[in-house]
Structure 1
């Protein structure tokens, strides 16, 4: 009996300390990484025998040719893509709110969320290139082109290619986050009721959404929007594949400086990382300013009693834009598949003249090591993240204290701080500690990005568990450990698998963190895909992009299928 009590007490103590471990795991590396990049930027770099504090790194940075263009490109692509993705998400929610079409759009866009950024960028580049699928569809019968024309997309100087890629990736993320918020029982029921009351009072459905639902929904979307803006302003994978190279975005330039054989350029890269951090913070402040300006402009419209604002026109526009987005996504994926199996495919033929599997066969002869590394890093990081999150959520129920708002902000911290800023600092610290464990370093860094998504994926399901079942089990003599393992986890079988699949998808898509933390020694499917996209043939790039998409998709198929299989067998 004493042993049972001791084990129960040990489990309760372990669970209660888990939230602090989770917050420390997210806070210390990010802040330590920022400190690790800040000191070299000001001249203190023992690894390079530089210990005199100075502004030499910033002086070299200011003298970089094209720096202003790099900064402008980062600001433009980050802010414009986020604004477009946010606007599209809002009008789609408003047009299809409380309708069956919103659920159908969710089913269509959900798989897009798991496509890694690099794979999405490759698909978009194949679509919008001068010899891409769009040009082929209209040539020569409409354009008269018998040869591929000269075009500015991709790699255009303004960054429209990057903006298109970012919008297509971030729109599903924002939309699914919003739908997840609306799926909360109390909040969703309240907002739907208020929306219906407004319609009964004569407001058009879209007007009712903007006046009743959006003011209550937007505050809950602010942190996800900030995460999207922070990523878009410092993206590396997409800008490497879609962006210009003369000059590139600041984030890409920083990566090149850090990987240069001239180690003194790392001082410049550290100064650039701090500049990138300042740009991202500035964009977040600009977004907050836009919030204030929008509130001032539209505050009176919320209470002016007007029921109609060109409702039919806006709704028709939303339908057209939604169809265009879905067609664009479908065309990008179809073009990617065709390139992966294309034999001879001359321009302007719409379809290849022959289909072959040679490119897959060639890829499979070299893919074993990258595939093994991808799976090991993904499974370990997502598995550990899921266990840590489950224990943290169990601590909420044992202590009857939900995580504070500031704790939620810390969970978002790795997503809000540009990864290119604190990852450089972590690498500096690893070199200072002479850490040679490349696999461990990569898994640890992946964990920082996987944890927030796993937490957000499973937290709502865990908090909605019926507490009466746990009380009944406890009253029958079950220890907290048994209640956790035998009562709560079986109810969460499907959400846990979905959370792990999401964690795997996030880990599979990591490029910059794998390159920096592994020192280029850990090859994964994503690192190979990005490398090939910048120099190999389209066919080989398409094969690796499809493999990139296939791995997370397989994880979600298992997550969706296993619960049905297990529960059907139990019933039988």
Structure 2
């Protein structure tokens, strides 16, 4: 019940509106700021008449068809691979302790920034990378690095590999999160047991009973993954081809070109990128319908066994191969960061040195401070906004959960490279030169959805009887919130904060665009170094990128234990 005329209740009541404004206005304003230059209206270049010259120049760009095709195919194929592997893992290890072991192994990959993951994969698949060293010369016979095109191959295979390995943990954790919900998980497991009792093999029982229901809960996250991967910049910039690159990378290069007239072409390209993303989403929807039409009859045909043993063995081999690749990539990056002379095909460096770490650490003080300052500010704002909105859900009769549940996905479904360029244009029009504030606002668009989704379940599961008892004893809503609910949510808040920090640490494009290149972070430096700098220095920066989120997740795990231990000792 709301207590009238208090600062706390008024603040809580207004926070949902603020959340909607913070997410909707920058995205819509960014899209508006994209449309005007795309159609020729750019007063800074004395262009105040609407025209289609930007699109004409865009379509006349050499290799534009290849850019579009790369963006479309890499996003669709990588998401399809990630989804299929996720389903195979779930089907093969459903109700098995191995599923949670795989989850613990893949979980840390989720918080690794995309740039760091791309750098690690690059160390693995280059001609002199760790894979060729492991098998040389005893199996391959190579005494010199092989002549292959990975990474930066013209077909986008490296991009597909990088996106798949990054998307897979996310989709797997989303699926496991659905199965962990008491009502859904209990129902699905009961149905699975019934199918087993009817002599269905475990694999067939999963595909016929669990998957049709589970997919409905995974559909929106899958669409978000498709939208992101179609306009991804970090992984294609590091692993993708350069002549031509993907469309998103080309747009970024046009936007930063000294020739300001390319801003119009970049805006037109961003419109085309939105069309590509919509086409990818439409293609996925069409594939859904075709799959449903083709396989619907097989759900009820009574067949108990559909190659279950073969699929399980294939999944075992595939899972082992993926985990091995991730492990080899991390080992290779660690070795390169300490390596001295390392000739091919030696598996290990001839000497290990700390010179690269010493040199990099002296140079990264300013980027590291900027990274921490931006991430801490963004995560704190996201936590406060999320907590206040979730409290407003319980104090008001408005259907805030439905509104916030839709709005919260908006920055994830709209291609970031599209609305961020427009947002930069809007910031230029209002002459906003506060780089730090601009970057924090841009990061908040991507951090807030993940923090909200992380905290919402825990907050909504709080037993309302605690609040009812406290209110019956005369406690105000403010006191119940600060002294009852927040201590009960101490651990989930820390996990959500660590997740928000990890998302902020990995933001490349928002930092580069909103900061106008004035604020260097660990991620922007790592991406720059990955394109032409020393492998050893790139490895150091990529490892620091990984260590930052790992450190804060470790703190999020330790602090509740220390907090509750201290509280129990005080009670004694």
Whether TM-score is above 0.5 comes out as yes
Structure 1: gaps spanning 5 or more residues: none
3-state DSSP of counterpart to 1:547:
helix
- Contact preservation (8 Å) 2:374, 2:440: yes
- Contact preservation (8 Å) 1:47, 1:431: no
Q: In the TM superposition, what are the counterparts of 1:58-97 in structure 2 within 5 Å?
A: 58-97=55-94
Question: What is the aligned counterpart of 2:556 among 540, 553, 559?
Answer: 559
Q: With structure 1 as the length reference, what TM-score do the two structures score?
A: 0.98
Q: Which residue of 1 aligns with 2:224?
A: 227
CA distance 1:285–1:406, change in 2 (3 Å) = farther
CA distance 1:135–1:197, change in 2 (3 Å) = same
Q: Which residue of 1 aligns with 2:41?
A: 44
Asked if 1:279 is matched to 2:276, the reply is yes
**Whole-Å separation in 1 of the counterparts to 2:512 and 2:3:** 47
**Whole-Å separation in 1 of the counterparts to 2:402 and 2:391:** 18
Structure 2: gaps spanning 5 or more residues: none
Question: What is the aligned counterpart of 2:306 among 304, 309, 323?
Answer: 309
**Whole-Å separation in 1 of the counterparts to 2:298 and 2:398:** 39
Q: In the TM superposition, what are the counterparts of 1:24-43 in structure 2 within 5 Å?
A: 24-43=21-40
Q: Which residue of 1 aligns with 2:474?
A: 477
**Whole-Å separation in 1 of the counterparts to 2:204 and 2:506:** 39
3-state DSSP of counterpart to 2:475:
coil
**Whole-Å separation in 1 of the counterparts to 2:488 and 2:191:** 32
- Contact preservation (8 Å) 1:139, 1:146: yes
Q: In the TM superposition, what are the counterparts of 1:257-406 in structure 2 within 5 Å?
A: 257-399=254-396, 403-405=400-402
Worse overlay, 189-198 or 419-428: 189-198
Give the Å deviation of 1:325. Answer: 0.7
- Contact preservation (8 Å) 1:508, 1:526: yes
Give the Å deviation of 1:404. Answer: 4.9
Give the Å deviation of 1:13. Answer: 2.7
3-state DSSP of counterpart to 2:144:
coil
**Whole-Å separation in 2 of the counterparts to 1:144 and 1:301:** 48
**Whole-Å separation in 2 of the counterparts to 1:60 and 1:402:** 47
Give the Å deviation of 1:399. Answer: 2.1
Q: Which residue of 2 aligns with 1:192?
A: 189
Give the Å deviation of 1:219. Answer: 1.3
Question: What is the aligned counterpart of 2:508 among 502, 508, 511?
Answer: 511
Question: What is the aligned counterpart of 1:56 among 31, 36, 53?
Answer: 53
Give the Å deviation of 1:45. Answer: 1.1
Aligned residues: 568
Question: What is the aligned counterpart of 2:126 among 126, 129, 133?
Answer: 129
Give the Å deviation of 1:518. Answer: 0.3
- Contact preservation (8 Å) 2:454, 2:496: yes
RMSD: 1.2
Q: Which residue of 1 aligns with 2:451?
A: 454
Q: Which residue of 1 aligns with 2:530?
A: 533
- Contact preservation (8 Å) 1:47, 1:432: no
Q: In the TM superposition, what are the counterparts of 1:14-33 in structure 2 within 5 Å?
A: 14-33=11-30
Q: Which residue of 2 aligns with 1:160?
A: 157
**Whole-Å separation in 2 of the counterparts to 1:324 and 1:54:** 52
- Contact preservation (8 Å) 1:46, 1:432: no
Asked if 1:151 is matched to 2:156, the reply is no
Asked if 1:118 is matched to 2:115, the reply is yes
**Whole-Å separation in 2 of the counterparts to 1:237 and 1:42:** 28
Give the Å deviation of 1:216. Answer: 1.2
**Whole-Å separation in 2 of the counterparts to 1:40 and 1:179:** 44
**Whole-Å separation in 2 of the counterparts to 1:5 and 1:440:** 34
3-state DSSP of counterpart to 2:49:
coil
**Whole-Å separation in 2 of the counterparts to 1:535 and 1:172:** 29
Worse overlay, 189-198 or 531-540: 189-198
Give the Å deviation of 1:25. Answer: 1.1
Give the Å deviation of 1:12. Answer: 2.2
Q: Which residue of 2 aligns with 1:142?
A: 139
**Whole-Å separation in 2 of the counterparts to 1:13 and 1:514:** 33
Give the Å deviation of 1:18. Answer: 1.5
3-state DSSP of counterpart to 2:213:
helix
Structure 1 runs (4+) greater than 3 angstroms displaced: 4-7, 400-407
Worse overlay, 16-25 or 111-120: 16-25
Q: Which residue of 1 aligns with 2:465?
A: 468
Q: Which residue of 2 aligns with 1:444?
A: 441
**Whole-Å separation in 1 of the counterparts to 2:213 and 2:138:** 51
Q: Which residue of 2 aligns with 1:492?
A: 489
**Whole-Å separation in 1 of the counterparts to 2:182 and 2:43:** 55
- Contact preservation (8 Å) 2:82, 2:168: yes
3-state DSSP of counterpart to 1:352:
coil
Give the Å deviation of 1:48. Answer: 2.2
Q: With structure 2 as the length reference, what TM-score do the two structures score?
A: 0.98
**Whole-Å separation in 2 of the counterparts to 1:181 and 1:22:** 25
**Whole-Å separation in 1 of the counterparts to 2:400 and 2:84:** 31
**Whole-Å separation in 2 of the counterparts to 1:394 and 1:404:** 11
Give the Å deviation of 1:99. Answer: 1.4
- Contact preservation (8 Å) 2:511, 2:519: yes
Give the Å deviation of 1:20. Answer: 2.0
3-state DSSP of counterpart to 2:363:
coil
1:529-561 deviation digits (Å, cap 9, x = unpaired) = 000000111000000000000001111000011
- Contact preservation (8 Å) 1:81, 1:164: yes
CA distance 1:62–1:5, change in 2 (3 Å) = closer
Worse overlay, 126-135 or 38-47: 38-47
